[in-house]
């Protein structure tokens, strides 16, 4: 889900922040996110926009899919993001979020608790768990 290059400079950022150029674009261009929540929001925006290289380089190499697998677009459309909580403890953090998307004409929700680690000063996505919807 996502098409690279579909963002105008003044377009709203997919993560729900300010305009894209002053929000997640700076991370997609190489600036390091200062918090795990910033990284999670930037990763969501990267999925929306097809910034697969960013998704790949910010994923722990021990569990990440190949770049080719990430580029395999399934035709879905991301609809919105809600961050439920963000907790940091030293060089570890969790971000719980709900992302809405549409696939095959049906609306879905991805509820994830993502785990992040800061290594050599850079946050990376390690893995996630999927709590049951209540």
Number of domains in the chain: 1
Question: Which CATH number is 102's domain given?
Answer: 3.10.450.50
pLDDT tens profile 41-86 = 999 999 999 999 999 999 999 999 999 999 987 768 999 999 999 9
User: Which pTM does this prediction carry?
Assistant: 0.90
In DSSP terms, which residues pair with 115 in a beta bridge? 94, 127
| Domain carrying residue 63 | 20-129
Please state, in angstroms and rounded to a whole number, the distance separating the CA atoms of residues 73 and 38: 24
Mean pLDDT of 29-41: 98
Question: CA geometry: angle at 127 spanning 17 and 116, to 5°?
Answer: 55
For every residue of 23-55, which 3-state class applies, written as one string?
A: CCHHHHCCCCCCCHHHHHHHHHHHHHHCCHHHH
Whether 12 is in a domain gets the answer: no
């Amino acid at each position: 889900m996502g098409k690279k290059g579909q963002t105008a400079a003044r377009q709203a950022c997919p993560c729900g922040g300010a305009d894209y150029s002053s929000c997640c674009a700076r991370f997609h261009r190489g600036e390091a996110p200062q918090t795990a929540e910033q990284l999670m929001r930037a990763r969501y925006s990267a999925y929306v926009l097809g910034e697969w290289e960013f998704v790949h380089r910010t994923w722990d190499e021990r569990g990440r899919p190949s770049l080719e697998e990430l580029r395999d677009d399934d035709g879905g459309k991301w609809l919105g993001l809600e961050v439920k909580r963000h907790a940091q403890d030293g060089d570890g953090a969790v971000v719980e979020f709900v992302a809405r998307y549409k696939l095959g004409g049906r609306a879905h929700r991805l509820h994830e608790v993502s785990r992040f680690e800061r290594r050599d000063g850079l946050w990376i996505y390690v893995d996630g768990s999927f709590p049951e919807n209540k």
